[in-house]
Amino acid sequence: MAVMKHEHEGEAAKIGFTGPSRVEKDRFGPIAGVLSFRWVLIAFVLILWFVYYPIIDNFIVSTKNQDIFTGETAFIGLDNYRRLQGDPVFWTAIVNNTLYAVISVVFQVFGAFVLAALIEGLTEERWRRFWRAVYFVPSAISITVTGLLFYFIYQPDIGLLDSALTQIGLAEWSRAWLGEEGTAIYAIIAMSQWQGFGYSTLLFAIAIQKIPRELYDAAIMDGAGTWRRLWNITFPLTREMTGLMVIVTITGAFQVFNEVMVMTGGGPNNSSQVLGTWLYQQGFIENDFGYGAAIATVIFVITLITGFAQLWYTKRRRVDL
């Protein structure tokens, strides 16, 4: 509302309005407030029913031992959470999600920032547009397709990666990337970087375009070189976008499911399990809904923290939110 007032105060005054609310009040009266609820009714029913309520129900389910086939339910309190503590796969998943977050922040936030700065430094607009579009293409494709594609790329018999390594004389590096416990999660994370960096590059490019060019002109006059300009102008002036991207990327990293499911299903020997796939494994394959729900609660707590960080961050930037 603050935005609107600033921009249109002048015009409103011109046509003789002292405040926007007076006319509306006279026209609709006090009952209008209650009637206005109809605008938000459908959204509220849907959100409360399908988004909020399941979170509460999820916590209730997590305190029970339940078999979906027999329907027998027993209250077991926080036993499922105690079980999590002693579950090595759960801790593998936490480590894998954290790896996912750290590597994605490095490539999809800081790497993408540098790439966006390089692209925006090109002199011709058509080439800037061209590179932004090329790098973005994988982001438009579904993770299922890219996951399957890289599943094949990592195969030793038909895949591109091992053939390429052999051709450049690194045959001893070739292996079944998804079939070995030491490399599976890294192979998945690498696919995710390939798919996602163009998206964040695009967003950084948009942020960089908003920087006034006079700043660069002044810096050149002062004799600042390319890297000084990048570090002293571009980086500080896109810091808000960087902060937001860090939070969004971390949130995404703890909700990873699709690519792991498609590429390894959490294997080999649970080495590439993440919280999402371990939840699925426990809840839907082992039919242990209570334990699956406990894992879901952990994801909920982590994303709630990052969500509040994001809200705080956005609010700080935009007072009228």
Distance in Å, CB of 85 to another protein, minimum: 20
Q: Of 75, 5, 22, which is closest to residue 290 (Cα–Cα)?
A: 75
As measured in angstroms, the least distance from the Cβ of 55 to another protein is 6
Q: Are 180 and 98 in contact (CB under 8 A)?
A: no
Q: Check if the beta carbon of residue 251 is closer than 8 Å to that of residue 303.
A: yes
User: Half-sphere exposure of 208 toward its Cβ, with a 13 Å CA cutoff?
Assistant: 26
Cα separation, 304 vs 254, in Å, equals 11
**Smallest distance, another protein to C-beta of residue 43, A:** 4
Rounded-to-integer distance, Cα 182 and Cα 188, Å: 12
Toward another protein, which CB reaches closer, 27 or 172?
Answer: 27
**Alpha-carbon gap, residue 276 to 278, rounded angstroms:** 6
Cβ distance to another protein smaller for residue 68 or 182 = 68
Shortest gap between Cβ of 42 and another protein (angstroms)? 5
Taking the least distance from each CB to another protein, the nearer of 226 and 269 is 226
Q: Between 71 and 88, whose beta carbon lies closer to another protein? A: 71
What's the closest the beta carbon of residue 97 comes to another protein, in angstroms?
A: 11
What is the Cα–Cα distance from 192 to 101, expressed in whole angstroms? 11
Residue listed under structure tokens 């005054």: 13
Q: Which is nearer to another protein, 182 or 314 (CB)?
A: 314
Tokens of 82: 């105690």
Distance (Å, whole) CA 321 – CA 316: 9
DSSP designation for 58: H
Shortest distance (Å) from residue 240 CB to another protein:
9
3-class SS at 288? strand
Q: Tell me how far, at minimum, the Cβ of 105 lies from another protein, in Å.
A: 16
8 A C-beta contact, residue 313 and residue 303 = no
Which of 40, 78 has the CB closer to another protein? 40
Is 75 in a helix, a strand, or coil? Answer: strand
Beta carbon nearer to another protein, 182 or 301: 301
Q: Least distance in Å: CB of 302 to another protein?
A: 10
Q: Which is nearer to another protein, 150 or 177 (CB)?
A: 150
CA distances from 39 to 31, 34, 187 (A): 14, 10, 47
